[in-house]
Structure 1
Amino acid sequence: MSTAATYTEFATREAYGVSPTYERLSRAVAANPAIHELLETVPEAKRQPNLLFGVVRLLGGPVDDPAGFHDFTVAHWNEIAANLRVRATQTNEPGRCAVLLPVLAKLPQPLALLEVGASAGLGLYPDRYSYRYGDRLLGTAGPVLECELTGTEPPARLPEVVWRAGLDLNPLRVTDPDDVGWLDALIWPEHEHRRERLRAAAAIAAADPPTLIRGDLVEDLPALAAQAPAGATLVIFHTSVLYQVPEPRRQAFEALVRTLPGHRISVEAPGVVPFDGLPPAPDDTLHNVVALDGVPLAWARGHGQAMSWFAD
């Protein structure tokens, strides 16, 4: 896909109705050959809108003014490019736990959670957050994660988690101000509620840090999974991660994870983890497929704000 098409699709399918600032900026970048030329000097995987916009925000550049964004990007390209090469879109959105919870609550308790692509590990605390599904409130502590849930009843209980661990090529630490600054830069401009959630979730993780391992999702996953305690249900999960993994490595992961014990929850775009016979998505915006052990269950929005259950 061309750079122009990538930014147009991001504006149309991801930012539309969610972030007017990023929708406007994406359309401006799509029509800006000078920015395209600069982006073509970095690997294709490093040209994605979320990564570019996050780096510019981290470096103090404007994203609310396309002309100012253009001038800043051209003037500071060497520094921007250096950050693009070493950083990844490690959006650690606690809100995604709201689409994991209906699946986790149905599994045999207690749980041992292992997240692939864990970033700072904020997705490893579904038992420490509260949730609002319509008029149903679940939980009494932590940030309240709101999700528009259709097609199934909200879960009646929080999961019991006795072990939590994460695997990431570059794990982030919630106790490191620079790492938290990068997570903040990845939050879209208008989403102050997500910044508040980030701070609240980071405080929970800092008080009881998970095991975060720097490693590869194929080479290092079996050894980490083997550390899960006996008597707990191992759940390996990943949310909006595999699109960053090259196709051959993705296939190797798919083959490996089927051999491991326990269960696997995937929350990925349908082109990343493909399934046959999916029902139509609720609308034209980008939705992920929530699946358990390779069986698709529901559509979900990228930040966990909505879930449409379609499985029996």
Structure 2
Amino acid sequence: MTELDADSLREYYRKFAQLEATDTSPIYAAWASGVAQDDEVIKHLPDLPKPKRQANLLFAAARHLGAGEGDYAALRTWLLEHWEMTRDLMLARSTQTNEAGRCAVLLPALAQIERPISLIEVGASAGLCLYPDRYSYTYTTESGPVTLHPKDGPSTVALACELTNAPPPDRIPEVAWRTGIDLNPIDITDGDQQEWLRSLIWPEHELRRDRLSAAASIVSAEPPRLVPGDLLETVDSVLSEAPAQTQKVVFHSAVLAYVEPAERERFAVLMRSRDDVVWISNEGGGVLPEIGAQVDREKDGRFVLAVDGRVIALTGPHGQSFEGLD
């Protein structure tokens, strides 16, 4: 390990603690701060490929294997005693967080589409976000709450979203066909893979774990088609299979940050070239620079939601808020 590697990792874990975890997970904030100052733990991380060094993956793997949710001293002791098994799991798994709550910020864009939809998710994980038509929604607005249910009645998955500076959606569109693309799709009917998704949810987020369980139950009853493959190599062939007379929609949420910048740009160029596709992106502000540059103020950790490359809102990373920018 070079000192440059160590310094880069220390800075990454410091920033993770300060910018990502402080307000949402005191446990992860303390753990990340601890790793940033711990040469003994830091020295193990450069042996992993760069995408595998991230805090979310390290902490999820440790909890999945039984490290518990105690203070950093307890985590440190556990990691040093169980590093080989932790490393093996980190190499085998990835951060495929599948947050059904994000459907609440996708729905205002999807509801603008009148025709039945062919829905294609890039980076689908287990495909829980491919079922926006099976969930219930409550939008908190300045004039009061607005609730929408699937056509067959209230869902066991109830998503809440604070909506400002935008009208709430007035309908749940018809999804006629759905397919996901992922390098390593997760089988939601497999208990161990479902438990991995639970481990990826941060310790204090019990509501999200309950939501995962409820969404998994719905999706397990009718599992989606998930195509293994790279987004650039696979999306055109999947699009060619979409039924005629439907509107093709390609969407992704918190996915492209894990793709190399050059590939992100190639994907954006591909999406802009397809005039038969509605492209919905919901990513961090710096992930797609041409989209992020349209927002002229601080994003405060929120995602940028864009339709066909045009920004329409800032959104909470778990679907908890939608601030219109039109």
Q: Normalising TM by the smaller chain, what interval?
A: over 0.9
- 1:169 and 1:163 mapped to 2: Cα distance? 21
Q: Any runs of at least 4 consecutive aligned residues in structure 1 with deviations exceeding 6 A, and if so which?
A: none
Deviations 1:74-110 (A, max 9, x none): 1111111112122111000000101101111012321
Unaligned runs of 5+ in 1: none
Deviations 1:41-66 (A, max 9, x none): 11121111111111111111123310
Structure 2 counterpart of 1:95, from 94, 101, 109: 101
Structure 2 counterpart of 1:182, from 191, 196, 212: 196
- Does residue 138 in structure 1 map to residue 155 in structure 2? no
Change beyond 3 A, Cα 1:136–1:64: farther
- 1:141 and 1:152 mapped to 2: Cα distance? 24
Change beyond 3 A, Cα 1:15–1:172: same
Query: What's 2:294 paired with?
Result: 277
> Aligned AA for 1:246?
E
Residues 67 and 78 of structure 2 are in contact (CA less than 8 Å); yes or no, is this contact kept in structure 1? yes
SS at match of 1:220: helix
Deviation at residue 255 of structure 1 after TM alignment: 2.3
- 1:145 and 1:236 mapped to 2: Cα distance? 22
Residues 62 and 72 of structure 1 are in contact (CA less than 8 Å); yes or no, is this contact kept in structure 2? no
- 1:88 and 1:203 mapped to 2: Cα distance? 22
Give the number of aligned pairs.
Answer: 309
- 1:142 and 1:101 mapped to 2: Cα distance? 17
- 1:265 and 1:198 mapped to 2: Cα distance? 23
- 2:50 and 2:198 mapped to 1: Cα distance? 24
Residues 281 and 299 of structure 1 are in contact (CA less than 8 Å); yes or no, is this contact kept in structure 2? no
Deviation at residue 249 of structure 1 after TM alignment: 2.1
SS at match of 1:127: helix
Unaligned runs of 5+ in 2: 1-6
- 1:262 and 1:249 mapped to 2: Cα distance? 19
- 1:133 and 1:196 mapped to 2: Cα distance? 19
Residues 271 and 277 of structure 2 are in contact (CA less than 8 Å); yes or no, is this contact kept in structure 1? no
- Does residue 298 in structure 1 map to residue 313 in structure 2? yes
Residues 287 and 302 of structure 1 are in contact (CA less than 8 Å); yes or no, is this contact kept in structure 2? yes
Residues 281 and 287 of structure 1 are in contact (CA less than 8 Å); yes or no, is this contact kept in structure 2? no
> Aligned AA for 2:166?
T
Query: What's 2:184 paired with?
Result: 170
Residues 272 and 309 of structure 2 are in contact (CA less than 8 Å); yes or no, is this contact kept in structure 1? no
Let me know the Cα RMSD of the aligned residues. Answer: 1.4
- Does residue 309 in structure 1 map to residue 309 in structure 2? no
> Aligned AA for 1:192?
E
Name the one with the larger helix percent: 2
> Aligned AA for 1:12?
Q
- 1:12 and 1:307 mapped to 2: Cα distance? 24
Larger displacement relative to structure 2 (178-187 or 25-34): 25-34
Residues 117 and 177 of structure 2 are in contact (CA less than 8 Å); yes or no, is this contact kept in structure 1? yes
- 1:280 and 1:252 mapped to 2: Cα distance? 26
SS at match of 1:218: helix
Aligned pairs (5 A) from 1:229-268: 229-260=243-274, 261-268=276-283
Deviations 1:28-48 (A, max 9, x none): 122212211111111121111
Query: What's 1:194 paired with?
Result: 208
- 2:93 and 2:279 mapped to 1: Cα distance? 27
